Amino acid sequence: MKLTLYAVGTKMPAWVTQGFNEYARRFPRDLSFNLVEICAGKRGKNADIARILEKEGEQLLAAIPKGSHIVTLEVEGKPWTTPQLAQQLERWQLDGRDVALLVGGPEGLAPACIKASAQKWSLSPLTLPHPMVRILIGESLYRAWSINNNHPYHRE
């Protein structure tokens, strides 16, 4: 099974790339964790935000392999504790399908992405900076994996 984070936005600061890569490399071969970046639409004074969101959504959905289990990250999603996330990760692994985690741009995700999702996950009721979300997802999923595999990381 593969976990893939599909995120709108490119050219992240070095600390974001470094942080994400640190957690991604810790995952075992049978549960890889990857990142696919989608270019954000150009936002200006008179930008058509609805059209930009729609295009970003189309690009996100086109990048996801058919049959993947889609999970959108949204403020209105279901908050999971770390033990609940560990249980969720175990369910995903038993299901056997690849998991696509979607993070939108500054205005969130396109309605088409939300409609395509099987689950909605909220990291926090706060709106978090999108670069930081990448690292939080990586750390949270790695901690969940470590709990499921009795790895000492989760006791640190």
Question: Is this model's pTM higher than 0.75 or not?
Answer: yes
Q: Please answer whether residues 141 and 154 qualify as being in contact, where contact means their C-beta atoms are separated by less than 8 angstroms.
A: no
Arithmetic mean of pLDDT over the chain: 94
Q: Please answer whether residues 124 and 73 qualify as being in contact, where contact means their C-beta atoms are separated by less than 8 angstroms.
A: no
Collapsed DSSP state (helix, strand, coil) of residue 106: coil
Distance of alpha carbon 17 from alpha carbon 21, whole angstroms: 6
Collapsed DSSP state (helix, strand, coil) of residue 73: strand
Residue 53 pLDDT exceeds 60: yes
pLDDT at 154: 63
Distance of alpha carbon 6 from alpha carbon 25, whole angstroms: 17
Q: Among the listed ranges 54-58, 67-71, 95-99, 124-128, which one has the minimum average pLDDT value?
A: 124-128
Q: Name, in order, each residue with C-beta under 8 angstroms of 31's C-beta and a sequence gap of 6 or more.
A: 1, 2, 3, 93, 145
Closest CA to 23 of 140, 124, 101, 131: 140
**What would the pLDDT profile of 135-144 be if each residue is shown by its tens digit?**
999 999 999 9
Residue 155 pLDDT exceeds 80: no
